Structure 1
Amino acid sequence: TLSGLADGTYTITIVSDANCNGSFSGSATITTEAAPDPGSNGIVSYCSTGPGGDLLNELGGTPDGGGVWTGPSVLVGADLGTFDPLVNAAGTYTYTVTGVAPCTDAVQTVTVAVSSLDDASFGYSASTFCVTGTDPDTTFAGTPGGTFSGSGSLVVDPNTGMIDLMASGTGTYDVYYATAGSCPDADTLSITITTSPSAEIFYGGPYCATGTAPVTFGIGASAGVFGNTAGLFLDSLTGEINLDSSIVGTYVVTNTIAAGGGCAAASDTATITINAIPNVTAIANPQTICLGDSSQMIGQGAATYTWDNGVVDGDYVIPLITTTYLVTGTDANNCENSGQVTITVMSPVIRSLDITMCSGDSIFLQGAYQFVASILVDTLTASNGCDSVIITNLTLSPNPVLEISDDATIDVGESLELVASGASSYLWSTGDTLDQITVSPLETTTYYVTGYNIFGCAAIVEVEVEVVYPFNIYVPNVFSPTSLYQDNKKLYVFGTGVEAMEFVIFDRWGEVVFRSDNIRETNRFDGLCCKYGYGWNGTYKNNGTELNSAVFTYLLKGRFTNGEEFFEKGNITKID
C-alpha cells in the first residue's frame, strides 16, 4: 500500500528474499495526480444598482484557477466569474474545476443575493406653508430610520423631518432625506414658507373706452384670480382691462387669493369707470371751393373742438390749395376722438399760352381743331363753377427726331445709363433735363423722354428697363395692428419667387398662436412685389381673441420657384 506520496512519477523494484527457493526481481512505474480544488461554498449579497464583484473571490479556501462558471445567467471574466447586478440574475452559481484522470471533476457554489435600494421617498401635506402655521411633519412612503437635513436657514428635525416654520423664516428651501440601510438612497423635496398674502388693488380713471387699464397693487400685494360682472373685458390672471372691448359703465373688480399653506384667503375690490369716446365729425361748408373763396369749419359730436392749422371752430378758412383739416373733439368726460375733412380748391386758369405745334398735328382750341398758326381765346367753366380763361399763341415747328438707348434688363440694385439724342433739350419722366441719366429702378419701369428742338416742338420716346429680383424671403421683427401703415397692421412674409411655405408663430410658452401655409401672392402697399398669405393680425390664430404686446418666436420654411429650400427663425415684437 502506497500513501502520502507527492504528485509525480515513481519506480518500484521487487527482489526475492534469499531464503526463498529460487530467485525473482521486478519493477513497476506509478504516476500520481493532484485532485482538483474548487474551494468551498460561498454566499455574497450585492445592491441592485451595483457595483458587483468576482465570484471566485467569494469561494472559501484556495480554489484552482481555470474553472468554469454556470448558473442563472452568463458571467463575464472567464474563471473570475464577474457578477454585475445590473445585468446578471440572483441565484446559485456553480464553479467546476476539471480533474485529470483518474481524478474526477470537483465543484463548489456561490449563492448570490441582489438587494433593492432603500426607498427614500417622503413628503409633506403641501409644498407651501404659512410662516405662522403649524409645523409640518413628514408623510413616509419609504424606508424609515434615515437622516433629514435642509438647505439654507431651514430648521428641520434630523430624525422626524418636522420643519420649524418660524425659526426657518420665509423663503424656498430644499429638504434632503438619506436612508441608512445596506443599500442606501436619497431624495429631495422643495418647500416654500410664505407670509400671509395681500390682495389689495387699485384702478385709476375714470377711463375712456380706448386702450388698456392696468391694475395697481398695494405694497406687498399680489395677483390671485380677478373677477367682475358681465361687460368688462378683464384678464383674470393679470387684472388688465381691455377698454376697447369693454362696455361703458362702472364696474367692481375683485382680486381673490385662495387659502393655502396654512395662510388664510385674501380678497380686495376696486371700482373702475369706463366712459364712451365721442363720435366726432369734421364738416366743411362748402367742401369744394374756387381759389379765393371761403369755407366754414364746424365740429360735431363733442363739447369742445381743437382744429389743426390754427383754425377756430366755426371760423371760415380760405385755403390756397386742396387741404385736409383735422379736428379733435373732447366731451364732458374729457374723452377725445378725432375726425377730418378735405377742402378741394379749384384754381381758375387765366393765362396766356405759347404753344408750338409740330407740323401735321392738330390741337382743340376755341371750340375746334386748329391746324395753322393763330391766336386763340378759350373761356371755360369748371364743374364747380370756377372760370378758366386761356389765351393761346399757336405756332408751327418741325418735329425733332429722337433716339434713345435700347431696352435693357438689370438686377435689382444695379444702375443703368440711358442716353437720348436728336433734340436741343430734354425732359425725362424722372424730372432730369440732361441728355443722359443714370437710373436704379426697384421694379420694371418704362422711362419717357421728351425732346425739344430749338423751336420748342417736342417728340417723345421711351425705353423699358426690366428689373430682375433675386429670390429672397424675410419677416419683419416688429408689427402693430394699430399702425397707420397698411403693411404693418398685419405680420406678412415678404420676398420674391416663393413657391411654397409654412409660417408658424409661438408665444413665450411655446404655444402655437398662428400657423399658415397660404401662398397667396400680392403686391406690397408701396406697389412692389411681394407679400405672401393673409398675414397674422395679432390675435390668437386670427380668431379675434386679443393677445398682449409681447415677443413671439417664428419658424418659416419653404421653397422658391427655382427649387431652392429656405428655413428662417427669429423673434417678432407685437406692439399694440
Structure 2
Amino acid sequence: YIDTLQSINGCDSIISQTLNIDATPVVTLGNDTAFCVGNSLILDAGAGATSYQWMSGSTSGFLQQTFTVNVTGTYYVTATIGVCSATDTINVTVIQPIFTNLTNASVCQGDSSLIFGNYQSIAGNYYDTLMAASTGCDSILVQQLIVNPNVSTNATATICNGDSILLGGAYQNTSGSYYDTLQTQAGCDSLVITLLNVTNGFTTNWADTICEGESLFVGGAFQIVTGIYYDSLQAINGCDSLVITNLLVSPKPTVIATASPSYIVAGESAQLNATGGGTYQWSPLNNLTCGTCENPVASPLETTIYTVTVDSNGCIASDTTLVEVDSEFKIPEGFSPNGDGVNDLFEIVGIAKYPNNNIIIINRWGNKVFEAAPYKSNWDGTSQFGITIGEKLPSGTYFYILDLGKENPSGKQEIKGYIYINR
C-alpha cells in the first residue's frame, strides 16, 4: 500500500507499506476431564501454531504442543502464529482412591485369620483393592490383624499340713508345681503355674515354774497345779502351733526365825537362826555379823526386830524374830581415874540389878589386876594383885570377864570385853 502525504516543507512525501495477514491458530483442549491417581493425561493444543505457552496456576513456560499432567488443576494454553494467538482452558481432576477400614480381626498367638483371600498370623495392616463403581478407580480396603498373646503366669500358694487347695483340676495337698489353663479376656489361653508349699505346724515344748499360791494361764485357764498343759496357737505362717507347757508348782519355803537368847543386855550377842533352805537375807544389817548367812550373830544396842527373807527355787517367804536389849545396863569402854571428880571410876550402869555378879580384870599379859564379887562400880584403877598391888595402873587397855549371875536374862555365864584406862 502507497500513500502520498505533504511534508512540513510543502513537498510530497510518499509512504509505502507492505501488509501481511497471518492465519489465526485453532486451539481445542476438549472438555474438562478426570482420571485415576497413578495415571497421567497428555493435553494436546493442536498442530499449526508456531509457538505454545502452557500455564497451570502459578506455573508457566512449557513450550511444547503437548503437555503431560498428573495433578489436579486448571491448565491454560496459548498458541501463536505470527502476531495472532488463541487460548483454551481445561480442568483436570485426579481421582484419589477411597480407603475403607474394615473391622479389626483378632486371633490368638499361634492361630491365623483369613484376610483378603490369605491366612495371616502376623499382627499388622493388610490391604486389598476394589473397583469403585462411582469413579471407576480403585478403592483400597484396610483390615488390621491383632494377635493376642498367650499369657503364662507364675503364682505361689501356701497351705497348712492337712489342708488342700484346688489346683490343676483337683484338690492338692502335696508340695509341687501345678498347671491350670484358663481363658483371658481376649479368649486366648492363659497358663497359670502355681508352686504349692505345704507347711507343717510347730510344736514347742517349754517349762515354767510358779510358786505355791500363784497361777499361770496355760491350757485355756489359770493353772495352780503341777502338770502338762496344751495350747493351740496360730504361728506366723498361719498354721496351728502346739505349745506344750510343763508346769511345776514349787512350794513356798517354810521359814522359822529364832534368836538365842532373845533377851540380852547391852554388849551381849544373840545367835540368830533361820530354816527354809535356799538363800537368806537378814535385815536390818546393823550390828549383824553376816546379812546373807543362815545363822548370823546379832549384837544390837537396842531392842530390834530382825527379818529374814528366804528364796527357795524362786519362791520367797519371810519370818521375824525379836531381840530385846536391856538398855538400862551399859558397860563403858573406858574411864579416867585422875582425881578430877569426873569419870574417875569404872562404873557399870545397871549392875545393881545383878547382886550375884562377879568380875575379873586382867592386863594385856593375862595377869589379874582386879576382882570383885559382887562388883559395885567402885574400881578406881588400882591394882589388887601381884607386884603392883596397891599401885595405880598405868594408862592402857585392860580386859574384863563379867558374870551377872543367876539374874542374867540371857542365861550366859560371862560377858567379855575391854576397858581403857586414861590417866
The normalised TM-score by structure 1 is: 0.23
Bigger strand fraction: 2
The normalised TM-score by structure 2 is: 0.30
